[in-house]
Amino acid sequence: MASIERRGDSWRVVWRHDGRKAYTTWPAEEYANEAKAIVEGHRGRITADRVYADMGIPTGDSNSPADDSPKLREWCEEWLPSKTRISPGTRERYEQQLRDRIYPAFGDTPLSQITSVAIGTWLNGLRGEMSQKTVTRYYSLLHTALTAAVRHGHITVNPCHGTDFVRDQRADDDTGEHHAVYLTPRDFELLRAQFPAKWQPLLDCIVETGMRWSEVTALAAKHLVPATASSGPRIQVWRAWKEAGGKRYLGTTKGRAKRVLPIGADLHATLAQLVDGQPDDTLVFRDDNGHALDYDRMYDRVWKPALLRARLCAVHPPTGEGERMEGARGRCRDYGGTTWDGRPCGARVVSDTTRCSAHYGPRAGTTSDCDCPDVLHSAPSWHDLRHTYAGWLFSDPRMTPLAISRLLGHQQLATTSEIYGDLMPQAIDAAVDAVADARKAGRQP
């Protein structure tokens, strides 16, 4: 009586109603199966709008009382200014997201006429242009806006619920791979040794606390808590740098998750010395003018040069371009030399070599490819020091996932599991032993 047809990324349920072809379109096969069951339950005597309605999807039927619902743009311009628990930077980002992608797709559509099919199609279009994490941000904002519209009586159901979208995940092509770099203790020491002594306490603080860059650079003298008779020294992670309107300001931590972290006595002494005799609001880590550290500047001027040095081997330097050739003259291109974008290089060669001065020797940023133990063989970022902290904690059997989640400042244990699930194989393998032990105990007389 009804059939299902695959149409690209969607499924269509087709049947005959009053002598004419009728159909509904769905973003997932399971919804199409449900719709097909509804059609066959009515023996085909049902309209497409009625099928959508039975599935809980608004259709924009002219007889629907929700026809006077505002357009999405009108609703968002009313709803977003009323939100009280977001920072100025977040509000600014939401406004930008609405302007960039959501308004062009749904801005002039009445809320009651936005369907799950349209949302699913829109999401698939975004996937071709941006990462899944970014797609999730747009979906989450639209979902939140439509949930608020339901709460205020403009629509009866949120059409986002009719999609099969899963945050940060594609369908059959999602590998779920986590690309964090975890440094071994030896790797960290190799990297740390290449930093100027001035910045080594910054590395120590991140890798020993797991603080985010925005948090560690907001740390002030008043956040250092000395040891007491009942506990060791602590760090109060109560604020972080945010940005709005191109300007930085101090706001709450990510997810508003304030926390107090235990630190070693040596680290506390080092940090306390950096602000010794200074006012309470003095930043622990600051530039030569006493201002907050800038991530991009620190990455380019401090992190990258130190990382390059850590990845160079004194015994096996990177191989270069060109070679010595007595009597070599002419242009670089005469010996196969090219510019970095692949075009023939017309510069004159260095005397008695086959390359010009810009192309003779190793390229800038080239690293050694040997297996020597005193060379760093990965390319971590500042944030990978936080991942390294988590990795070290998970490698200690005394630490529980819940305790690690709280130290990292995650609002939910599920977040920790999603990010660091690959670091918990022992707990997963232990499940087999736990079940076996239980079965063995049950068989004993």
Verify that 265 and 327 share a domain, yes or no. Answer: no
CATH number at residue 240: 1.10.443.10
CATH number at residue 80: 1.10.150.130
Query: What is the C-alpha to C-alpha distance for residues 261 and 211, in angstroms, rounded to an integer?
Result: 9
Verify that 353 and 377 share a domain, yes or no. Answer: no
DSSP line for 268-330 = HHHHHHHTTTS-TT-BSSB-TTSPBPPHHHHIIIIIHHHHHHHT--SSSPPP-B--B-TT--S
Query: What is the C-alpha to C-alpha distance for residues 61 and 260, in angstroms, rounded to an integer?
Result: 55
pLDDT at 295: 92
Question: What length does the chain have?
Answer: 445
| Residue 275: how many other CB atoms lie within 10 Å | 21
pLDDT at 112: 87
pTM: 0.64
Question: Which structural domain, as residue segments, surrounds residue 21?
Answer: 2-55
Is 284 within the bounds of a domain? yes
The tens-digit pLDDT sequence of the chain (445 residues) is 789 988 777 788 998 887 788 888 887 788 888 888 888 877 788 888 778 777 766 554 444 444 578 999 999 999 999 998 888 888 999 999 999 999 999 999 999 889 888 898 899 899 888 888 889 899 999 999 999 998 898 888 888 887 777 665 544 444 344 478 999 999 999 999 999 999 999 999 999 999 999 999 999 999 999 999 999 999 999 999 998 877 889 998 987 778 999 999 999 999 999 999 999 999 999 999 999 999 999 999 999 999 989 998 888 877 667 888 888 889 998 988 887 677 888 888 888 888 887 777 666 666 777 889 999 999 999 999 999 999 999 988 889 889 999 999 998 888 888 788 777 766 566 666 778 787 788 787 6
Give the phi and the psi of residue 392 in degrees, each rounded to 5: -65, -40
Is 260 within the bounds of a domain? yes
Is 194 within the bounds of a domain? yes
pLDDT at 364: 61
pLDDT at 362: 67
pLDDT at 276: 96
Verify that 273 and 353 share a domain, yes or no. Answer: no
When divided into structural domains, the chain yields a total of 4
> 3-state class of 165 per DSSP?
coil
Taking each continuous run of H as one helix and of E as one strand, the counts in the chain are: 17, 8
pLDDT at 441: 80
Is 92 within the bounds of a domain? yes
